[in-house]
Chains A and B, each alone.
Chain A
Amino acid sequence: MLECKGIGYRYGSSQHWVLDDFTHTFSPGIHLIKGYSGCGKSTLLRIMGQYLRPQKGHVELHGAPLPRKYRNTQMGFVFQQLNLLPLATIQRNLQLAAALGGVGKRQAKKQISYYLTRLGLQELAKRRPTALSGGQQQRATIARALIKEPDILLLDEPTSGLDDMNTTIIKQVLSEFTAAGDKCVIICTHDNRLDDISNEILDFNAFLPIEGHLAALV
């Protein structure tokens, strides 16, 4: 489904390749990428999200280069830093993501209502992000990523700092999302609580990707 082919990346003029010749195919299901801080997990996720351009290699979706509107319509991304628009309410954040994702007005309304309820945010829909707790904001960013029903969902540490109850809600939502078997969820995490919903775990520490290698790791 989503293929990384010979990805190489280094920051600025550094001689150190954070990722070097990384090749892997992500099939539908939930994939966890684990590893120590700075091993290149988030960098890889951002490359797959088209937020960073790799210096080497490329990413393909269904055997073709990433389409022009990939970021708008086919991919949802949850940042580690809870990047919600601070001046917009949670509902407006979701509306904007749906509109940019090309979701029709009626469909967007239905989706927003569903995900707000599913993630326990319906009472908070009219509030701005600053009035929400960290866990609530995290759920809101996941709702925003899911609103356009993307083929690929990329999440960077979605449960870090969350209590068990919030983590359980997120796990349930992600499992439901991939239940139909046509969606691919890739999560960068240190959180072992997510292991039981995953179909594959790529452990960058153990240098255990199924295909390809991480030359940067010793």
Chain B
Amino acid sequence: MRSLILTLSYLLKDTWLRWFEQPGSVLARMLVTTVMTALSITLLVVLSLQIIKLEKEVEKFGLDNILVIEAIHASDVGQNLKQNRFQHLEEWGELVIIEKFAVVAYGGGKRVNVMAYGERALPALEPYLEKGHNYFLLSTSFPQGALLDFEIDGQYVKAITLTPDDNLSQVLPGNLLFVPFSAFRHLTERGFSRISYLQKSPDAPSLEAIAEAIDHTVATDRKGKVEVKSALSITSKLASLKQQLNKASIGLSLALGGALALIYGTLSLLEFRQSMYISALLNSFGASKFILLMRTVIENLVIVNATAFALIYGMERYHDKIIDLIKMKVSTTPEHLHSIYWGRETVLILIFVNLGVLISCIPVMMAMRKQVGRVLS
């Protein structure tokens, strides 16, 4: 035990002195680890943030609703497209229908879209209508509670500004002026978009089946332009992103481990050639070759892990600044952030980095096979 302590203490002193005498070698290893780990972690964090963003969208949009936007041009109005082809969706849940006119309203120095609501939209708009105004602007950029004048096709109306709830702003984003359909029925002659929003009931068919039924209707009629929005497309994108993240983490880990094995291996061998004399000398007294090899292994493991851990910790700490720099806008909680930076992908990277370092010590192990008598002669 005493011999082990004395040997290790000497090796520590020798290593420490070498670091001071030749800082370039240590700094080169630290730089390589920093650059490569930073690139890998940044890429994985960006992918993770995109996943979080999509998950939030799914959460907001919900997995039990579907939005059908049917564009009806002025030329189509004459045909019986005025009748809602998707009225039957009401069998499967609560159906809200809103018409978006082809005209815009002017007020408060801005142009806003005009949405017309009828009886079918009343339950959904009740929280806004109960403020006592038939005309209301849903917006986050206008002063809330203000009464503003808007001009719609030469007609003036007074509307109150209200904040839309998360669900509605997710489904219908932007500044929207809601007006009663009956007051502007004539505007439909210029074309409009009919927005049918279905909140599916629990006993209804699956969202996929409903989306399929809508597609089938559109394909059969071959009229108008219909856009179907649901969380289904987001979830499929989400699945593909998650798959991408998995592939990226494995690919990056392998690349990083391989690159570090090569670079650390070369540097370790160059360094070992310089310290081979001391190793041989210690070995000539009877110090075990294993301990001497462990010096190289531990030295490299300390450098790579200290650098990688410090870097990841730093990146987590300055996450907001880094995200600003790459112009990504995803808000995360500290718990989320911690799981992004210290998640499975990062652990995989760290494992491969350490494996790379272990592999890099093989050339040193080979060099240590040289007979002591030849080194010391």
Interface set of A (CB-CB < 8 Å, partner B): 42-43, 46-47, 49, 51-53, 69, 71-73, 77, 79, 81, 83, 85-88, 92, 95-97, 99-102, 105
Q: Smallest CB–CB gap between B322 and chain A, Å?
A: 42
- Are the CB atoms of A97 and B373 closer together than 8 Å? no
Known: A71-B286, A100-B287. A85 touches B3 (CB 8 A): no
- Are the CB atoms of B376 and A51 closer together than 8 Å? yes
* Contact residue among B3, B7, B371 (Cβ-Cβ distance under 8 Å from A51): B371
- Seed contacts A53-B371, A100-B287, A102-B3; 11 additional CB < 8 Å A-B pairs: A49-B284, A51-B376, A69-B286, A71-B286, A72-B285, A72-B286, A86-B278, A87-B14, A88-B10, A96-B6, A99-B2
Nearest chain-A residue to B282 (Cβ)?
A: A85
- CB contacts (< 8 Å) of A86 on chain B: these are 278
- Are the CB atoms of B10 and A87 closer together than 8 Å? yes
Q: Smallest CB–CB gap between A105 and chain B, Å?
A: 6
- CB contacts (< 8 Å) of B14 on chain A: these are 87
Near A by CB (< 8 A), chain B positions 342-377 give 371-374, 376-377
Asked if B281 is at the interface of the complex by the 8 Å CB criterion, the answer is: yes
Interface set of B (CB-CB < 8 Å, partner A): 2-3, 6-7, 10, 13-14, 17, 278, 281-282, 284-287, 371-374, 376-377
Give 26 CB contacts A-B under 8 Å: A42-B377, A49-B373, A51-B284, A51-B376, A52-B371, A52-B373, A52-B374, A69-B286, A71-B284, A71-B286, A72-B286, A77-B284, A79-B284, A83-B376, A85-B278, A85-B282, A87-B17, A88-B13, A92-B6, A95-B6, A96-B3, A96-B6, A96-B285, A100-B3, A100-B7, A101-B286
- Are the CB atoms of A97 and B285 closer together than 8 Å? yes
Looking at A53, A77, A99, the one whose CB has the most chain B CB atoms below 10 A away is: A99
Nearest chain-B residue to A43 (Cβ)?
A: B373
- CB contacts (< 8 Å) of B17 on chain A: these are 87
- CB contacts (< 8 Å) of A99 on chain B: these are 2-3, 6
Nearest chain-A residue to B7 (Cβ)?
A: A96
* Contact residue among A51, A87, A95 (Cβ-Cβ distance under 8 Å from B372): A51
Nearest chain-A residue to B373 (Cβ)?
A: A51
Q: Smallest CB–CB gap between A45 and chain B, Å?
A: 9
- Are the CB atoms of A96 and B10 closer together than 8 Å? yes
Q: Smallest CB–CB gap between B175 and chain A, Å?
A: 75
Nearest chain-A residue to B1 (Cβ)?
A: A99
In the assembled complex, the Cα of A204 lies from the Cα of B236 at a distance in Å of 86
- CB contacts (< 8 Å) of B284 on chain A: these are 49, 51, 71, 77, 79, 83
- CB contacts (< 8 Å) of A92 on chain B: these are 6, 10
- Are the CB atoms of B278 and A79 closer together than 8 Å? no
In the assembled complex, the Cα of A71 lies from the Cα of B284 at a distance in Å of 7
- CB contacts (< 8 Å) of A83 on chain B: these are 281, 284, 376
- CB contacts (< 8 Å) of A47 on chain B: these are 373
In the assembled complex, the Cα of A52 lies from the Cα of B2 at a distance in Å of 28
In the assembled complex, the Cα of A72 lies from the Cα of B281 at a distance in Å of 12
Nearest chain-A residue to B14 (Cβ)?
A: A87
In the assembled complex, the Cα of A71 lies from the Cα of B371 at a distance in Å of 13
Nearest chain-A residue to B287 (Cβ)?
A: A100
- CB contacts (< 8 Å) of B287 on chain A: these are 100
Known: A85-B281, A96-B285. A79 touches B376 (CB 8 A): yes
In the assembled complex, the Cα of A87 lies from the Cα of B9 at a distance in Å of 11
- CB contacts (< 8 Å) of A53 on chain B: these are 371
In the assembled complex, the Cα of A87 lies from the Cα of B282 at a distance in Å of 12
- CB contacts (< 8 Å) of B278 on chain A: these are 85-86
Looking at B2, B17, B278, the one whose CB has the most chain A CB atoms below 10 A away is: B2
